[in-house]
Amino acid sequence: MAKYGKRTTAARAAFSGKAGVTVEEAVSLIKANAKAKFDETIDIAVVLGVDPRHADQMVRGVIALPNGTGKTMRVAVFARDAKADEAKAAGADIVGAEDLMEIVQSGKIEFDRCIATPDMMPIVGRLGKVLGPRNLMPNPKVGTVTMDVKAAVEAAKGGEVQFKVEKAGVVHAGVGKASFSEAKLIENIKAFISAVQKAKPEGAKGTYMKKIAVSSTMGPGVTLNIEAALAS
């Protein structure tokens, strides 16, 4: 049997028997038990009744969380000339073309979001095997292949969250920090759940949302009452 420290043991006891709670109850419980020495991230995991191997059941989207994520987003932009200058002025951390491609190919990926102008996609396309598995490949469906690099960079820096269903049918995202007020976390979580609901694909059959769990980085997870979360 695994042995836990005092903090983990106390947290597990506090969460014992808690399941199918409201977003408000979950946030209150998680914040009260997020006692690590760093500002823990509040994570959400949504289990969906889809098979992403089928194109008509793929779930992906983007949501600008009302209160941001609390995370410093490092942004890379593939662009040239005036668009490269525009990206830098908007606050992009790394901007380039072939030189940036070579950096990525070397395995040095020091960014959390990748944006590209359409003319850069032949170059970016060569990086599919590197960026794809990390969910960093620019995609016009979520606004990361665009001529408006200024807006894309500002959105990424401002707390925009991209989501994409994994092979197991799960969508993960960070929706804030433990230091956020309960009201801000509640608002962010509800906004994310709503965005995933709106992204329901035409090919989804039966129950779409099967389970929603929220947790802090170091804490146990608690499941939400899906109907209540969707209704609020």
Percent of the chain with pLDDT strictly greater than 70: 92
Could you say which architecture CATH assigns to the domain 18-68+161-231?
A: 2-Layer Sandwich (3.30)
* Same topology between domain 18-68+161-231 and domain 75-157: no
Phi–psi pair at 131, nearest 5 degrees: -80, -35
**How is the chain split into domains, by residue range?**
18-68+161-231, 75-157
Distance CA 173, CA 145 (A): 21
Looking at residues 210-217, what average pLDDT do you find? 96
Q: Tell me: pLDDT of 8 over 70.
A: no
Give one DSSP letter per residue of 115-165, joined into a string. EE-GGGHHHHGGGHHHHGGGT----GGGT-B-S-HHHHHHHHHTTEEEEE-
Contact between 174 and 41 (Cβ < 8 Å): yes
Cβ-count burial 125-141 (b if 16+ within 10 Å, e if not): eebeebbeeeebbbbee
- SS3 label, residue 221: strand
How high does pLDDT run on average in the chain? 92
Residue for token pair 């794809």: 132
Q: What is the pLDDT of residues 126-178, one digit of tens each?
A: 999 999 999 899 999 899 999 999 999 999 998 899 999 998 999 999 999 99
Architecture of the domain defined by 75-157: 3-Layer(aba) Sandwich (3.40)
The per-residue pLDDT for range 193-212, each reduced to its tens digit, is 999 999 999 999 899 999 99
pLDDT value at position 82?
Answer: 98
What pLDDT does residue 14 have?
60
In this predicted structure, the answer to whether residue 1 has a pLDDT above a threshold of 90 is no
Task: Assess contact for 15 and 4: CB atoms under 8 A.
Answer: no
- Is the distance from CB of 77 to CB of 95 less than 8 angstroms? yes
